[in-house]
Amino acid sequence: MPDEPDYHVHSQTVGAVGPGATAHFGIPPEQLPDIVRQVGQMIIDQFRATIPEEVRAEVERALREKAPQIDQALTPASTEVSIGRDATGNVIISTASGAVHLSLVERHALRQAVPYVTDADRRVLLALIAQAVSENLAPPSDPAALLQAHLEELAGHLEREEPWATGLRGYVPLATHLNQCFSLRTLPRGVPGPGRHFEERARFDDLAQAVEQATDEDGRPLHRFALLGEPGAGKSTALRKLALQAVRTRLADPTAPFPLFVRLSDHRSGSPAEFLAAEWQRTYGDEAWQKVLHPGSGRSPLRVWLFADGLNEMSPDGYHDRVAAWRRFLRDELPDGNQALVACRVADYGDALALPRLEIQPLDPERIQTFLYNYLPDRADDLWRDLLTDRQRHGDEHSLYGLAANPFWLTMIVAVYRALSSLPEGHADLIERFVDEWLKYEAERPGGRGLSPEEAEAFKQAVARLAYLLLERGQNVPQPLGDVRAWLPERIDVEGKAVATPPDDTLDLAESINLVVVEGEPGARRARF
């Protein structure tokens, strides 16, 4: 180790570790060996109980072969522990008895696990190693590199998170209409008042074009919008696409706003400002959010581009109070110069936030064909021809063509057509075949679970019951995972035979085949379709 290691502490996050130097977390270096031993032991013993299955699996895969080496390296017999790098950039945990190398994949697994550790002290200890083994360590002389690392991690999260990652890979720009409320002085002749009246002011070929070019009635640029659409219209995917573009813009231009992507289903307590402060800390690792709300007199105020998904997915408990709080925040507390886009299902919105409305339009024939070429290039022409034939036979309302204007349903049509080389017979057949194809995929994938015909039928009936109960409680509002388990039946009768459907198994399989999304932190997990 060097005589004078190069330390850099950035808001409780290690900002730099010099080659061969000891990682430092605002504590005396002589205390580091004991702390690293604790963290190493936690990596081995505590993950199974503190992080959700999808992250646990990634961590366990990455560290399974490494765990015995880490365990040996961090035994009490070790007198010195340091964290450094080798010539190829691999991170080394060094002790008197040897060294353990952590690869890029293993470092990523550690970083992914940090937010899910619920105990604050353990999270700090884990963050010591997680940041020290990051491939994007920033030397004190270049703090911008640490910011770049946070932005690149945000971009990676937006690109990888399923089920939206699939939609981003074949993204089709969505036509968007701008609708605004009339002011009294712009009410057209013949429109009665009082009351709120909306007018379509502009049409755009893409959401990105809309947020860049939309203006108010006086021609001034608009910076805050509600993004509205029907279920499955592509709101969440479009929001992530725009957020990803904002990340890349900020990486290329240090004067651009900071993108902040949040899921409003996570806002369960506190004010919007407090919720966003925590989300900023999680995204950027510091407390600079206060500079957004209180810019002061500096020449370069900190500006944010807020992307908030799922206004309608906030918990029903206190929902209207939280919506009112967001309305006040966007109107009165978020300073001018900051941008915001809040996504919500159109049927649940009304005029909740009193913002200009960007309404996503159904896919037109040209966009449907583009979608088909993006996802099924070799057979796009055949599928398009079959959709047109189905339309002529059954009409828009009852044909699968009528569903194709919705990206969610079109994704389902493509998946079934890819497997069958033909269209299913109607809406119900489409859904059943879609589930059948996912069950087949699940059975054939390594580590997947195969079902007998009776088990498959029981699973589909159990999920159908769950769908009814979930949708009965609102427009796909995430529900506590414990409640969802309680709603699922323990067994289903299939042709006179009782087939066991353990709720945990049903949920695991439904999540595995992308029917159900389970989200949130341990202790507050929620499920939705």
Residue with tokens 């919506």: 323
- Indicate the average pLDDT of the chain: 73
- Kindly report the CA angle at 169 between 163 and 175, in degrees rounded to 5? 90
Per-residue pLDDT for 91 more than 50? no
**Closest by CA position to 413, among listed 431, 439, 390:** 431
- Cα-Cα-Cα-Cα dihedral sign, residues 53, 59, 61, 64: negative
Distance between CA atoms of residues 440 and 198, nearest Å: 48
Longest dimension (CA), the chain: 87
The contacts of residue 67 (CB under 8 Å, 6+ apart) are 43, 44
Give per-residue pLDDT as tens, 263-286. 998 898 899 999 999 899 888 877
- What pLDDT was estimated at residue 386? 94
Per-residue pLDDT for 365 more than 90? yes
- What pLDDT was estimated at residue 471? 55
Q: Is 505 exposed, middle or buried (0-12, 13-18, 19+ CB in 10 A)?
A: middle
Which token pair is 173?
Answer: 């720009």
Per-residue pLDDT for 340 more than 70? yes
Helix axes of 272-284 and 144-160: crossing angle, nearest 10 degrees: 100
Average pLDDT of the residues in 438-445 = 69
Distance between CA atoms of residues 239 and 208, nearest Å: 10
Give per-residue pLDDT as tens, 193-242. 444 445 667 889 999 999 999 888 788 899 999 999 887 888 999 999 99
Which token pair is 149?
Answer: 């690392």
Name the region of 219 (left: φ>0; alpha: ψ -120 to 50; beta: rest).
Answer: left
Give the other-Cβ count within 10 Å of 490's Cβ: 11
Tell me, what DSSP letter sits at residue 120? H
Distance between CA atoms of residues 94 and 73, nearest Å: 8
Tell me, what DSSP letter sits at residue 520? S
Model confidence at 62, pLDDT cuts 50, 70, 90, reads low
- What pLDDT was estimated at residue 29? 44
**Closest by CA position to 323, among listed 366, 358, 355, 368:** 355
Lowest-pLDDT range of 82-86, 327-331, 502-506: 82-86
Kindly provide the b/e burial profile for residues 133-154, where b requires at least 16 CB atoms within 10 angstroms of the residue's own CB.
bbebbbeeeeeeebbbbbbebb
The contacts of residue 321 (CB under 8 Å, 6+ apart) are none
Return the higher-pLDDT residue of 279 and 430.
Answer: 279
What is the Cα 109 distance to its own chain's centre?
17
Q: Is 506 exposed, middle or buried (0-12, 13-18, 19+ CB in 10 A)?
A: buried
Average pLDDT of the residues in 27-37 = 50
Distance between CA atoms of residues 330 and 333, nearest Å: 6
Tell me, what DSSP letter sits at residue 194? S
Model confidence at 445, pLDDT cuts 50, 70, 90, reads low
- What pLDDT was estimated at residue 208? 92
Distance between CA atoms of residues 219 and 214, nearest Å: 9
pTM over 0.75: no
Domains and CATH numbers, the chain: 7-138 (no CATH), 153-360 (3.40.50), 363-444 (no CATH), 451-529 (no CATH)
Give per-residue pLDDT as tens, 473-520. 554 567 787 888 888 888 888 888 888 888 888 887 777 666 777 766
- Within 104-260, where are the H helices? 104-113, 120-132, 144-160, 164-169, 207-213, 235-252
Helix axes of 380-398 and 365-375: crossing angle, nearest 10 degrees: 140
Prior bond of 163 cis (ω within 30°):
yes
Q: Where are the beta strands (DSSP E) in 347-393?
A: 357-360
The radius of gyration computed from the CA coordinates of the chain, to the nearest angstrom, equals 26
Kindly provide the b/e burial profile for residues 325-355, where b requires at least 16 CB atoms within 10 angstroms of the residue's own CB.
bbbebbeeebeeebbbbbbbbbebbeebbeb
- What pLDDT was estimated at residue 399? 83
Average pLDDT of the residues in 396-409 = 84
Which token pair is 373?
Answer: 């070429």
